Structure 1
Amino acid sequence: MASLPPLPPVSPSVPPPAPPYVLALADDLSGAAETARALGGPVRVSLAVADVTAAHDLVVDLDTRHLASADAVSAVRAALRATEAGPARLLYKKVDSQLRGHLAAEAAAYAEGAEAVVIAPALPAARRTVTGGVVHVNGVPLHRTDGWRAERAPVPRSLPEALSGLPVRSVPLHTVRSGPRALDAEFRRIAASGAHPAPDAETDADLDAVAAAALRLGPGFRLLGSGGLAGALGRALARPATAPPSPPARDHAPLLVVVGTAEPGAIAQIAHLTALGAHHVLLDPADLASGTVRPPLPGSAPALTVFSIDGSTGLRPGAGRALSTALGALASAHPGRPDLVLTGGETARATLDALGIKELEPLCEIHHGAVHSRTPDGRRVVTRPGSYGSEDSLLRIAVALRPRLAVATKAV
């Protein structure tokens, strides 16, 4: 038998090209911080669009949730134009998992120039899923929950309805789970028809399949979703892990918790802190809006203070921005340069704007959505969406920032 020819020499392995930098655009600050941590690796959160040319992964808070629709569209377009001057970017649009904000208008602006936008707002970690093109919260269709009680507009009954004006085609769960070849083909078919795919998703594995398909199809397919899809993108890109944060070095500073949410669960979350002796300031909405509430005098601020808005008589829909601005101004005047826990994206942004803070360096996630960041001047800030967190959420955050409180919790 003739001998086989020798094998050709093995070429030195060439490492695959590094994935492009990610630019994620968020409509509020807590969502921006959540997205940064979900992407993994060294990611900055910027409060200024001018930073999009930086040579690293970046999440920009466009702060559009409170704007008029036309202004929100202008902000998205301006951010996309700014990318033309910087390095190649993989684009991601962060949206609310309950479809709040100027979703349709911003998505249409984001889709300009794209082959297609892959739309997947599911967030399995918070039990928010998409089945049959309908967002579900804890298994209940979104339009049958009270998630939109503070919104002026009626709650959408499906993703296509929420994205009215943008042609959207739902992709059923069995297709998402049918393998890469079938999912890629379906995304291409929908894009060729001039529409945008909106795949169902119930698990992180579903979102992993969606993100991987979009990456295989190339930069013409942009991603739009919640922190769940951002996490899938981060896993697909396999960014290097960041070093753990240094131990807290501000134990002497006051800790101010600013609860800028009307979520009913916030009452129980605050109760865990008052049980530890936190000073709770329940703010009347009228007094807050009129500016008659005054911060404590220097030297008189307690070690742990909680600000919240009294919603016992109901909050007027549409009043959130004015209250968040007033709450942020009050928080910024708190003596002692406190570390901050800020719930609700509008409240977080209003507070940092009042303090003149333009950038955050995310360090870690205390629990899902509760992102611990550092400011350029060394202050510690935790942001968290208002609707997130179990009953002990604020307690867990406070203990993470002030470990000495863990001793006090055992005595309660």
Structure 2
Amino acid sequence: MASLPLRPSVPQPVPVPVPVPVPYVLALADDLSGAAETACALGGPVRLSLAADVAGSPAAHDLVVDLDTRHLPAATAAGAVRTALRAAQAGPPRLLYKKVDSQLRGHLAAEAAAYAEGAEAVVIAPALPAAGRTVTGGVVHVNGVPLHRTDGWRAERAAAPRSLPEALSGLPVRTVPLDVVRSEPAALEAEFRRIADCGAHPAPDAETDADLDAVAAAALRLGPGFRLLGSGGLALALGRATARPAAAAHPPAPTRDGAPLLFVVGTAEPAAVAQIAHLTALGAHHVTLDPADLAAGTARLPRTAAASSPTVLSIDGSAGLRPRAGRALSAALGALAAAYPGRPDLVLTGGETARTTLDALGTRELEPLGEIHHGAVHSRTPDGRHVVTRPGSYGAEDSLLRIAAALRPRLAPAPAAT
């Protein structure tokens, strides 16, 4: 019998794995500049709220909430975290993220303990490589120097912790060395699981963005029982790891070139002096406010507000830091900024300064538009005002100048002659 001709071999298509959808994120921050940084880092459709209205948030958005707890007593700050988590349980499933300061400031131990309640484990990774903050041997380093040997806590009431386990006193923490972070994914997952099974929380070392990518991916594979806690660096890693649609491109924001531009510098960072100097060299008007006048309510704004050149408000720090008066001074500075005539666009440095200024304006939500440089987040208020928030410790000497040029291109310095 004649054999049938063989059919030509037809290559079969290789199945393409479909990304598993990841629930939208609920990120809780303890100050506004960190909340804005996280909102940009996540990369998807996002809502940035200054009110803890977690339950009523839209399901198809990441939600970042500024709980504004830095100035509160530790127990009250922990209670705010618990309240937000309870409210979240009534809404759509969300992936939880706790934003913390990369230099471990704020009520880290109390808020982390509240955040850990009900979790299998919390993966703790505060490294922020873009700002020179790394973690090795469970010790936070700033540009290679252990945190407790830097002046990063000079405005705090206590000494900087020597390690993550010390900073998280009361929460059982086990460090994970770099060689494990950089090993096979299954080995890192197994180490996280082993630590969790012992009733502790893993704190992996990280020096690079790739290290944080490995940490975020391992936590996601272990499921929602493993919650993430970290700085903007880990939030960036989470944004890279989640299989969600990118945020729709924002339409060009209408310019407000005729409006004043007001810088409110509430940070005690020494670098702020040089940053302000770059602006004054371009003709910005610098108003230095006496802290005693601010505290007494007798500080006054300049009589004229010129839209042609920026104005900078800052607190005179020549008499030294006043840690216990920080919130009151920020509130007084924010009230002055809110009263500035002409509805200026705002550049707010320092989380407390940003929050108190927007509170004084009655602003309860921001629409993040993008970053001008790392940590300098450009947002828009519901009434169309432009706002840039930036942590006080971020930015090179030209930080404020770059922000000014982004908001008002005519202020960009002319290129040097060759």
TM beyond 0.5: yes
Match of 2:152 among 147, 158, 164: 147
Percent of paired sites with the same residue: 80
d(CA) in 1 for partners of 2:278, 2:13:
63
Q: Give the stretch that moved more between structures: 333-342 or 286-295.
A: 286-295
Secondary structure at the aligned position of 2:80 is classed as helix
User: What letter matches 1:284 in structure 2?
Assistant: D
Match of 1:278 among 284, 289, 293: 284
Q: Give the stretch that moved more between structures: 48-57 or 129-138.
A: 48-57
1:10-409 equivalences in 2 (<5 Å): 15-52=18-55, 53-55=57-59, 56-239=61-244, 240-297=246-303, 303-406=309-412
The Cα of 1:54 is off from its aligned counterpart by 2.5
d(CA) in 1 for partners of 2:232, 2:88:
22
Say if 1:107 and 1:318 are closer, same or farther in 2 by CA, change over 3 A: same
The Cα of 1:318 is off from its aligned counterpart by 2.0
Say if 1:133 and 1:13 are closer, same or farther in 2 by CA, change over 3 A: closer
d(CA) in 1 for partners of 2:240, 2:322:
41
**Do the aligned partners of 1:248 and 1:401 also contact (CA within 8 Å) in 2?**
no
The Cα of 1:311 is off from its aligned counterpart by 0.6
The Cα of 1:238 is off from its aligned counterpart by 4.3
Secondary structure at the aligned position of 2:409 is classed as coil
Q: Deviations over 1:171-228 (max 9, x none)?
A: 0000000120100000000000000000000000000000000000000000000000
The Cα of 1:299 is off from its aligned counterpart by 5.9
Q: Which runs of 5+ in 1 are unaligned?
A: none
**Do the aligned partners of 1:296 and 1:334 also contact (CA within 8 Å) in 2?**
no
Provide the aligned length of Structure 1 versus Structure 2: 408
**Do the aligned partners of 2:19 and 2:243 also contact (CA within 8 Å) in 1?**
no
Q: Give the stretch that moved more between structures: 292-301 or 399-408.
A: 292-301
The Cα of 1:407 is off from its aligned counterpart by 5.2
TM-score by length of 1: 0.95
The Cα of 1:253 is off from its aligned counterpart by 0.4
User: What letter matches 1:45 in structure 2?
Assistant: L
**Do the aligned partners of 2:260 and 2:307 also contact (CA within 8 Å) in 1?**
yes
Secondary structure at the aligned position of 1:49 is classed as coil
Q: Deviations over 1:285-304 (max 9, x none)?
A: 11111111122447667641
d(CA) in 1 for partners of 2:54, 2:409:
35
Q: Which runs of 5+ in 2 are unaligned?
A: 1-5
Secondary structure at the aligned position of 2:21 is classed as coil
User: What letter matches 1:281 in structure 2?
Assistant: V
Say if 1:302 and 1:287 are closer, same or farther in 2 by CA, change over 3 A: farther
TM-score by length of 2: 0.93
Q: Deviations over 1:73-123 (max 9, x none)?
A: 110000000011110010000000000000000000000000000000000
User: What letter matches 1:383 in structure 2?
Assistant: T
Secondary structure at the aligned position of 1:381 is classed as strand
